[in-house]
Structure 1
Amino acid sequence: MRISEGVEWGLHCCLTLAWIGDDEPVSAPRLATWFELPPAYLSKCLQALVRAGILSSTPGVRGGFRLARRPAEITVMDVVTAIEGPEPAFRCTEIRQHGPGVDPAAPEFRRPCAITAVMRRAELAWRRELAGQTLADLMSAAPPQAAERAQQRHRLLRG
């Protein structure tokens, strides 16, 4: 399974917004500068997080992004789903039923494919693990100086 870099970007932006607080929204260009990311692609990720209700956005010159919910109410899975979409990672197309001499009505095709079953179990375990971890959990697992450094960088970039 491969997850896009947008998930990493979204999670780091959410953590940063959580650490710097709600005083003022942070613009997409400022976040892009913060992490040295391409602004246009980061903006798409941030908008996906807004559509999912993870971030809120304020338009205008002084606009930007804030967390829409408390860090304890945002799971890692919420961010993954916002960026990647809700579709399962594995999609079985039942190729075992294709090809010469195959009868799709044969008894072995009445049950789901064993490959599909194991992949679904693995994905459910993965999703459960990510749904059990919140931004607040990630914040507590970070080094103690992380919040202070985020606030310092925020002040620096604000000018």
Structure 2
Amino acid sequence: MKLPETSEWVLHTATVIAQLPPGSTVSAAQLSEHFGVAGPYLSKQLAKLVRAGILTGSTGPRGGFRLAREPERISILDLVIAVDGAADPYVCRELRQQGRGAARPEDCRNPCALAAAMRAAHEAWRASLANVTLAGIVDGLPASVIEKNRRLLG
């Protein structure tokens, strides 16, 4: 499965926000500069996280983004769904029933075995991401990384 580049942006952005002291905010401009990514496009992705209830955003001189809930309650799957949706990336078009080699209708009463295998893989991927939280990711980072990010974004 290939996710868009913005998925990586969102994963890193949420992880760095989770490293900040509780209640701290960081602007889209700071995050854009921190990661060297396009500000306007990153802002659109951050807005998706706000709509999903993962971040809150405020305006003004001390405004910015912060987590809307504890990092223990934000999974990597939550982040991916917020920006990429929840749809299964594999779409079975029943190729087995087309063309010269088309299977007989009576041989296609059960779901396509390939579609079933792809669906099972997608569900396993989702379950795996659902079990990883921002808190778990941050807990695995070296203290020096967290200190540096707090210093640069605080």
Per the shorter chain, which TM-score range? over 0.9
Provide the rounded CA distance (Å) in 2 between the counterparts of 1:101 and 1:55.
51
Provide the rounded CA distance (Å) in 1 between the counterparts of 2:25 and 2:9.
17
Aligned match of 1:142: 141
The higher relative CO (CA closer than 8 Å, separation ≥ 6) is in: 2
Question: For each residue in 1:59-95, what CA deviation from the matched residue of structure 2 results, as whole angstroms up to 9, or x when unmatched?
Answer: 2343211100101000000001111111111111112
For 2:107, give the aligned amino acid: E
Tell me by how many angstroms 1:27 deviates: 1.1
Query: Which SS does the other structure have where 2:14 is aligned?
Result: helix
Verify the 8 A CA contact 2:11 2:79 in the aligned structure 1: yes
Structure 1 alignment gaps of length 5 or more? none
TM-score by length of 2: 0.92
| Length, aligned pairs only | 154
Aligned match of 2:107: 108
* Counterparts in 2 of 1:35 and 1:101: CA distance versus 1, 3 Å: closer
Tell me by how many angstroms 1:12 deviates: 1.1
For 1:73, give the aligned amino acid: R
Structure 2 alignment gaps of length 5 or more? none
Q: Where in structure 1 do 4 or more consecutive aligned residues deviate above 6 Å?
A: none
Tell me by how many angstroms 1:51 deviates: 1.0
Provide the rounded CA distance (Å) in 1 between the counterparts of 2:45 and 2:102.
44
| Two-structure CA RMSD over aligned residues (Å) | 1.6
* Counterparts in 2 of 1:148 and 1:101: CA distance versus 1, 3 Å: closer
What's the % identity of the aligned pairs? 41
Provide the rounded CA distance (Å) in 2 between the counterparts of 1:82 and 1:71.
15
